[in-house]
Amino acid sequence: MVIQEVDRHGISTEELRDLMGGFLPNLVNQQVQEYKALGLDGVALYTGEQLVEWYRGSNIFLELYKKAFREFLQPRTEQELDELQWRLVGGAFEGLAFAYLSKQTERDNIVFSPDRTSQLWHELYPNASSMENSFSSASLFGISVPDGVAVRLVGDEYKITTVYEYKSGINGTRGLDRSITEFRKAQERFPHLFDSPRLEVVSLEGSQLPSPVENRPEVGLMSLPFNNLEYHFFVEYLFDSRPEKI
């Protein structure tokens, strides 16, 4: 068996400066344009119903639905189908969380979608191998890629102010030790990229941070506007009907 080495070093300080001077501002501009294309400007997303109704008519849902349609046509065992369904629930949560956060953060913060966040991490670790996921953004072998980040203009440079981890499900906030460790490692490796950042865990109403985590000042908990049961009803509603554009 071939054991793949993990390149955890990432780009150099000089390369990071180049990235922050060119690639990152371009990524911000792309994200702002995506906000407009998705119809997020001027739309109210305060309740679960508003959020899901917007999501159902969005291109985010359209693309996820197409992926699901292809994946579930493949012959699979019952166990594989169960795993695929859980990944689908997670994929829907990513899109809902991104849209909700984009409307809830401070005006000078830009929330990156999972795809934009993945693009940024691929640039930070260009030698790490990419891994495709069924319903989520591409990840990196041996490198923890956040589900989202918020960036803000600090002086004349964009810097990361928040790192997001999306956790759906009853026990969604468990298993955060690795996320916290990787959050700290990223700050140590790329200190110029961050500005007093926080790690925000985004879950469902009623979720709580585990006791070893809840007292850490750099870690917070945010909730989408529905609980676990409501969320799964919403997912069933979403996928019981085809998107209008198909």
Please name the residue that has the structure tokens 């691929």: 122
Report whether 150 contacts 162 (CB < 8 A): yes
Please, which pLDDT band fits residue 139 given cuts at 50, 70 and 90? low
Please, which pLDDT band fits residue 72 given cuts at 50, 70 and 90? confident
Identify the residue with better confidence: 130 or 94. 94
Report whether 124 contacts 23 (CB < 8 A): no
DSSP reduced 3-state for 151: strand
Q: Which amino acid, one-letter code, is at 167? A: K
Which pTM does this prediction carry? 0.87
Predicted confidence at residue 243, as pLDDT, reads 53
- Residue 45, CA atoms < 13 Å, CB-side half-sphere: 23
DSSP reduced 3-state for 215: coil
